[in-house]
Amino acid sequence: MGQVNVPAVGLFRSSDHRYWWMGEPEGGYPGVTGVLRVIDKPAIATWAKTETAKCAMRNWELLSTMRQEGGDAAAVAWLSRIPDYQRDTAGKLGSAVHRLTELADRGQAYELSDEERPIVEAYQRFLADYHPKLISREHAIINRKYGYGGTYDLIFTLGGQTWLADIKTSKGYYAETSLQLAAYANGQFIALEDDPKEYPFPSIDRYAVLHLRPEAYAKGYTLIEYSVGKPEFRAFLAALAMSRWQQTAKPVGEPVVNKWTRQRVPQAEKVPV
């Protein structure tokens, strides 16, 4: 971790999604989405293999040229970067959509690229269809008791109930998002930059993912309700513990030197084979 100049008042979020509150703690709190990376996601491995194979088929002639000029290693190196490129491109689009929908909610001007336009328009159709009353948008939560931070997407009222929703633009929506929503809902307070006040997090009645995917739905979106409660929060805390262990895990010791070569080996009890 690099050195970060952390202000002494209010919230601070670093570019690698660590959180500080009033200048503490040293090193920052881990972010919710970073914590959940410890969960095995076999679908991602399948996706990465598929994307690489598709790319190879689309660029067969280019790969042949690479092999001729730089050998197999050049072609392998190029292909190995494809999943990261695809992931980063999708991540940038998702971040842009979050920013643009936030600007739209706050009534601020914005411009859309051809790629962003259909996704933002899908979000606007959701607003027009459901008429949710926005309570809060894109703010950080802090939980000092368990030591984590995070940034939720949407809190709104609908049908007389308070909803916490996460906006997703990925190809699918997944079960582990319930852990993400549980972590946000258990934030001890909402934190703002340059503001020492700890704002109470509202009581949440229902949870959802707003999936913006224009090519998948007639109106470009669907609202999927999630079950979130104590079991999901316990599962998140387990992921938090595993994430911390990964950060500090070290080999137990040195290789064992054989000192027993000439010693008589005691007769072991018979055990089932």
pLDDT of residue 206 exceeding 90: yes
154 shares its domain with 52:
no
- Residue holding tokens 């990261």? 84
Parent domain of 49: 41-80
Instruction: Identify the three-state secondary structure at position 113.
Output: coil
201 shares its domain with 139:
yes
- The residue that leads in pLDDT, 130 or 85, is 130
Percent of the chain with pLDDT over 90: 53
Q: Which residues contact 184 (CB under 8 A, 6 or more apart)?
A: 32, 141, 150, 152, 164
Q: Please check whether residue 151 is in contact with residue 202, taking contact to mean a CB–CB distance below 8 angstroms.
A: no
210 shares its domain with 195:
yes
Query: pLDDT, tens digit, for every residue of 15-28?
Result: 888 999 999 999 99
Using DSSP bridges, classify how beta strands 133-137 and 154-158 pair: parallel, antiparallel or unpaired.
antiparallel
pLDDT of residue 269 exceeding 80: no
What span, in angstroms and rounded, lies between the C-alpha atoms of 65 and 182? 50
127 shares its domain with 210:
yes
pLDDT of residue 266: 63
221 shares its domain with 185:
yes
121 shares its domain with 157:
yes
238 shares its domain with 104:
yes
pTM for the whole structure: 0.77
Q: Which residues contact 32 (CB under 8 A, 6 or more apart)?
A: 148, 149, 150, 151, 180, 183, 184, 236
Domain count of the fold of the chain: 2
What span, in angstroms and rounded, lies between the C-alpha atoms of 80 and 64? 16
